[in-house]
Amino acid sequence: MREGSRGISIRRDGHETWFKWHRGRRQAGDLSFTRHRLIEGLRLGASLEIDLVRYADPGFAVLHDETLDAATTGQGPVLAASAETLRGLRLRLENGQPTDHPVMLIEDLGRLIAETRAEAGETAAVVQLDMKEASTSIREDDIAAFARAIQPVARSVILSAGDAEAVARLSAAVPDMPIGYDPCHFGASDALRESRDFKGFVAQAVEASPHATMIYLEYPLVLFAAEAGFDIIAAFHQADRRVDAYTLTVTSPEAVADAERLLALKVDQITTDDPAGLEQALARAG
């Protein structure tokens, strides 16, 4: 860990911008979705993100891919794996080497959040639950399993998805859970680059998910709008929405320059695979 770099947030010109730990990573080289990093982030008051995908039994697994082969010691589609199978798997490093880190299910995540809160007390930590499934693939039993796991920790999470209907169905089962919305899916960002109807894009996003408090935007799209003379972050702020810009995967000079531009636009959160490194680089630049 870089000396003095917590990877939590940075303040510029009176505005605080949070670093979101993409897939639970605090620094470059971290493995995705490990219990120890999630616990660490909860204790520090960090903004964290995990992904959720369906598996064979009711509920969701804390994984990103639709198949098990690359990220875990398993094989085949996640959708074909039972809870018993998933609990027997371990996460793999990027080079394919197995680790001792287990695959988590939604109920494991709920317990982890609750237990860490009980031990560490209240912090500003929030875990984004990024739902990778479309509403059409989510069963009522999945929603029930989600609600059982998340209701006790509802104020410590924020649910997001590119499918507004999926967010609506899941949030109806956990009504006190904050929600977010990503309007960049299904070709929307490419269409916006062609049309440049930025005001229409903002209005449509607000209408699609009227209760969302956070809007998730591809960071190149935010910068594209700014270059075209439209401050899309300010537009969402006027609609009483906060904005997360995703994802800075490396802390290169080019990425740091892009992050500086996002800070100047007063983005509320930057999703990054290297929060500690980005914080350090921006502190040097600032």
pLDDT in tens, 194-253: 999 999 999 999 999 999 999 999 999 999 999 999 999 999 999 999 999 999 999 999
Contact yes or no for 68/81 (Cβ under 8 A): yes
DSSP letters of 70-134?
A: TTBS--SBGGG--HHHHHT-EEE-TTS-EEEEEPPBHHHHHHHHHHHHHHH---S-EEEEEE-S-
Q: How many Å apart are CA 115 and CA 104, to the nearest integer?
A: 15
Distances (CA, A) of 250 to 146, 243, 258, 278: 32, 20, 11, 8
Contact yes or no for 216/184 (Cβ under 8 A): yes
**Counting every residue, how long is the chain?**
286
Domain ranges of the chain: 9-51+128-285
Q: Which of the listed CATH numbers 3.30.70, 3.10.450, 3.20.20, 1.10.287 matches domain 9-51+128-285? A: 3.20.20
* pLDDT value, residue 161: 95
* pLDDT value, residue 285: 80
Q: What is the pLDDT along the chain (286 residues), one digit of tens a residue?
A: 555 679 999 999 999 999 999 999 999 999 999 999 999 999 999 999 999 999 999 999 999 999 999 999 999 999 999 999 999 999 999 999 999 999 999 999 999 999 999 998 888 999 999 999 999 999 999 999 999 999 999 999 999 999 999 999 999 999 999 999 999 999 999 999 999 999 999 999 999 999 999 999 999 999 999 999 999 999 999 999 999 999 999 999 999 999 999 999 999 999 999 999 999 999 988 7
Tell me the pLDDT tens digit for each residue of 43-63.
Answer: 999 999 999 999 999 999 999
Q: What is the dihedral of CA 74, 79, 83, 89, to 10 degrees?
A: 10
Paired with 9 in beta bridges are 18
* pLDDT value, residue 4: 61
* pLDDT value, residue 121: 86
Q: How many Å apart are CA 49 and CA 62, to the nearest integer?
A: 10
Q: How many Å apart are CA 269 and CA 262, to the nearest integer?
A: 9
